[in-house]
Amino acid sequence: MTSNSSQQLVDHLFRHESGRMIAVLTRVFGTHNLAMVEDVVQEAFFKAVQTWRFGQLPDNPGAWLMRVARNKAIDIIRRERHQRKYSQELEHLLQKDTDETVGQFFLDTEMADSQLRMIFACCHPALKEEDQIALTLKTVSGFSAAEIARALVTNEATIQKRLYRARQFLQEEHIPLEIPTGTQLQSRIDMVYATLYLLFNEGYNSGKEHELIRRDLCVEAMRLGLLLSQHPAGARPATFALLALMCFQASRFESRIGSDNNIILLQHQDRSTWDKNLIQQGFHFLNHSSQGNTLTVYHVESAIAAEHCMANSFVATNWQHMRHLYDLLLDLKPSPTVQLNRAIVLAQTDGASTALREIWLIEGIEKLLASQYLYNAVMGDLYRQLLDSNNACKYLQRALTLTTSSAEKKLILEKIKLAEHAKLN
Q: Hey, where are the domains in the chain?
A: 1-106
Res 91: pLDDT: 54
What's residue 101's pLDDT? 45
Residues in the chain where the model's pLDDT stays below 70: 1-6, 55, 81-112, 153, 207-212, 424-425
The residues near 22 (Cβ < 8 Å, ≥ 6 apart) are 34, 37, 38, 41, 118, 139, 140
**Could you say which of 1.10.1740, 2.60.40, 1.10.1760, 2.30.29 is the CATH number of the domain covering 1-106?**
1.10.1740
| Residues contacting 382, CB < 8 A, separation 6+ | 347, 352, 355, 356, 359
| CA separation for the pair 146, 51 (Å, rounded) | 28
What is the C-alpha to C-alpha distance for residues 251 and 270, in angstroms, rounded to an integer?
12
Task: Give the pLDDT confidence score for residue 102 in this predicted structure.
Answer: 46
C-alpha pair distances (Å), 323 with each of 60, 248, 338, 342, 355: 51, 19, 11, 7, 12
What is the pLDDT, as a whole number, of residue 239? 95
Q: What is the pLDDT of residues 167-179, one digit of tens each?
A: 888 888 888 777 7
pLDDT in tens, 277-314: 999 999 999 999 998 888 999 999 999 999 999 999 99
pLDDT, position 81: 61
Residue 83's closest CA among 25, 41, 33, 22? 33
